[in-house]
Structure 1
Amino acid sequence: MQRPGGQSQFSVRTRTPHTRQELLRRILDAVAEDPSANHTLAAMARRAGVSARHLTRLFHDDMATTPARYVEQVRMEAAQAMLEGGDDPMASVAHRTGFGSPESLRRAFTRNLGVTPGAYRARFRSTNAARAGDGN
């Protein structure tokens, strides 16, 4: 999920340190492939075949974050892409990115970006409209 040209890189995967832990890589890949899936700590630990405590330790040691924070970052990235590139209703964006409800999506956007999803979409569109007006 790398942006072309000189655009800023926002992808969680491009900013995530490389891990040598194969089971952690599998978990990271699963989250990135389907952000809307069940990625609770218990579910991820079960898929990895380790305890929740051990998985939390791996995330802390190798990723310098928590499993929940990583999942939220991936879901935020997916939601941002949907809002930037489409007109899907907020309920659909929330469901397809794993937030579950428009309210959960709104809370995550406000906590992480300081704006609501609707304001994010509007801001992104106004930026694109201004660029289109410049002839670029």
Structure 2
Amino acid sequence: MRDIKRIKPFMNKLAKEWEKYPDLRFVQFVNFLFSEAEYDSFFYEEADILKLIDDKLKMSDKYNKIIDSVYDLDYDGLTIHELEKVELSIQNELDDVRKSLKYKRLDDVLKSLKYKRLDEFQKKKE
């Protein structure tokens, strides 16, 4: 029989991390954790799941901080060159996050920056 003492620490960690995402129902949270798992969740041991939680949430937090900083930027008055630098900087910062997590929101942000750059370019041409 497996050690019963492994359950409470595991469940405490799971609950603590889930509380950071109160809008997610339990299965949504579990699906989020396993969305890019290396293999079927059936085969994960508790220690593997704890590592997965740490890795996934660390990347998610990093991603959200970068995205929040993008939304906080004041784009008014930036030149095309400056907008290109911002876009490149964002792409560089998010490389490791993008490799680990797939977020539609990231692509939306980058597209909006490209459109902003195109708008600036059109204004300069007029």
Select the structure that is richer in helix.
Answer: 2
Query: TM-score, length-normalised on structure 2?
Result: 0.33
- Higher RCO (C-alpha 8 Å, min separation 6): 2
Query: TM-score, length-normalised on structure 1?
Result: 0.31
